[in-house]
């Protein structure tokens, strides 16, 4: 009985030991990749979390593999505790230093990553790579001055609404898919031509621009006031501030190669820091 206990301890000891070495090597590879390709962990705190696992696994493996005297056990425990405290402390500190927006899509297959340097206020949009890593894609055009909120309009469209320094409101849309098979770059404004009706709003998209009727008010946006993100979403702006986002739902089909009107739905989402829900719109008739 005692013998099998001992061999079980040894097996676990070696497993922890190998796991610690594996994670340690992983961190080494991360440094190489970071230097060469400027990739980062999608969440910077992952670095500390992995370090914590290394420390714990190493400590456990030492306890399980070696026959230690009391003095030795105390020494190892103290060193491990000091290292754990250091890593945990730095992780908390890092959370303050770098503001990160990390949000999983409803079906958990896409990840929105925006990291902001709190020294400069500069925020950058990241694309995830190989699971844990992310690559900076582009800077957000405005610095995040105050609050922000994330709303997934569809499983592959994330809308980030944020306030910039000058109390102006902006929207940045992360897109992770395409419509109509995604074989070519397409323009949201021309794909969604027509009149669209929802419960509380109406969108008229014609060659002259996009008109939105909402709560008795009518707003008109011309081509110059439209900012497209990917091939899925369009932000309508006025005086360089975001007003609305129009997104193509997953069931949207433009039917652009046939005389039939588009099918499926589009989503209208107001730019506001207050709690609001996207509005679904259905095609009702054609426009010029």
User: In whole angstroms, how close is the CB of 18 to another protein at the nearest point?
Assistant: 11
Give the separation between CA 98 and CA 116, rounded to whole angstroms.
Answer: 6
Smallest separation (angstroms) from another protein to the CB of 252: 16
Is 17 a binding residue for another protein by CB under 8 A? The answer is yes
Taking the CA atoms of 234, 236, 242 and 243 in sequence, report the sign of the dihedral they define.
negative
- The verdict on 47 binding another protein (CB under 8 A) reads yes
33 counts as binding another protein under rule CB under 8 A? no
Q: 96-125: which residues touch another protein (CB under 8 A)?
A: 97-98, 115-117, 119-120, 122, 124-125
Q: State the binding string over 135-174 for another protein (x if CB under 8 A, else -).
A: -xxxx-xx------------------------------xx
Which residue's CB is nearer to another protein, number 89 or number 218? 89
* Least gap, CB of 277 to another protein (angstroms): 24
34 binds another protein (CB under 8 A): yes
* 122, 116 Cβ separation under 8 angstroms: yes
Question: Is 10 a residue that touches another protein (CB under 8 A)?
Answer: no
Find out whether 283 and 263 touch, Cβ atoms under 8 Å. yes
Binder among 167, 257, 275, 277 for another protein (CB under 8 A): 257
Residue (of 228, 216, 150, 217) closest to 189 by Cα position? 228
Residue 48 sits at φ, ψ, to 5 deg, of -70, -35
Nearer to another protein, 80 or 201 (CB): 80
Total residues at the site for another protein (CB under 8 A)? 65
Q: Show the tokens assigned to 13.
A: 């000891």
Element (H, E) at 189: helix 188-191
Among 5, 38, 167, 277, binds another protein (CB under 8 A): 38
262 near another protein, rule: CB under 8 A: no
- CA-wise closest residue to 192 among 150, 240, 236: 236
- Residue 285 has a CB neighbour count (10 Å cut-off) of 10
287 binds another protein (CB under 8 A): no
CA–CA gap between residue 155 and residue 247 (Å, rounded): 12
Distance CA 148, CA 39 (A): 25
| 3-state secondary structure (DSSP) of residue 193 | coil
**Contact criterion met (CB below 8 Å) for 192 and 265:** no
Examine residue 189 and tell whether it contacts another protein (CB under 8 A): no
CB of 200 to another protein, least distance (A): 28
What are phi and psi for residue 206, nearest 5 degrees? -130, -175
Q: How far apart are the C-alpha atoms of 112 and 128, rounded to whole Å?
A: 8
Q: 274 by DSSP, 3-state: which?
A: coil
**202: which strand partners?**
197, 213
**Contact flag: residue 79 with another protein (CB under 8 A):** yes
CB of 65 to another protein, least distance (A): 6
- Give the binding site for another protein (CB under 8 A): 17, 20-21, 24, 27-28, 31, 34, 38, 44, 47-48, 51, 54-55, 58, 61-62, 65-66, 79, 83, 86-87, 90, 94, 97-98, 115-117, 119-120, 122, 124-125, 136-139, 141-142, 173-175, 183-187, 190, 207, 223-224, 226-231, 237, 240, 256-257, 288
């Amino acid at each position: 009985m005692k013998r099998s206990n001992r061999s079980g301890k040894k097996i676990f000891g070696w497993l922890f030991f190998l796991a610690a070495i594996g994670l340690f090597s992983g961190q080494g590879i991360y440094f190489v990749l970071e230097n060469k390709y400027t990739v980062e962990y999608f969440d910077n705190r992952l670095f500390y979390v992995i370090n914590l696992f290394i420390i714990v696994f190493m400590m456990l493996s030492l306890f399980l593999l070696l026959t230690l005297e009391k003095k030795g056990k105390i020494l190892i425990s103290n060193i491990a505790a000091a290292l754990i405290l250091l890593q945990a402390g730095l992780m908390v500190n890092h959370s303050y230093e770098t503001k990160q927006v990390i949000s999983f899509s409803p079906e958990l297959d896409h990840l929105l990553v925006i990291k902001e340097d709190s020294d400069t206020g500069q925020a950058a949009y990241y694309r995830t790579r190989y699971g844990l890593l992310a690559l900076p894609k582009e800077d957000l055009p405005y610095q995040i001055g105050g609050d922000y909120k994330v709303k997934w309009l569809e499983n592959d469209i994330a809308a980030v609404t944020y306030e910039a320094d000058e109390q102006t409101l902006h929207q940045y849309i992360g897109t992770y898919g395409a419509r109509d098979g995604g074989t070519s770059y397409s323009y949201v404004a021309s794909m969604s031509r027509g009149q669209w009706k929802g419960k509380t709003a109406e969108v008229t998209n014609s060659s002259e621009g996009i008109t939105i009727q909402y709560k008795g008010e009518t707003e008109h946006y011309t081509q110059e006031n439209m900012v497209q993100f990917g091939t899925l979403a369009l932000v309508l702006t006025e005086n360089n501030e975001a007003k609305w986002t129009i997104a193509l739902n997953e069931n949207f089909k433009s039917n652009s190669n046939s005389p039939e009107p588009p099918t499926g739905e589009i989503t209208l989402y107001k730019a506001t820091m207050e709690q609001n829900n996207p509005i679904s719109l259905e095609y009702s008739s054609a426009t010029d």
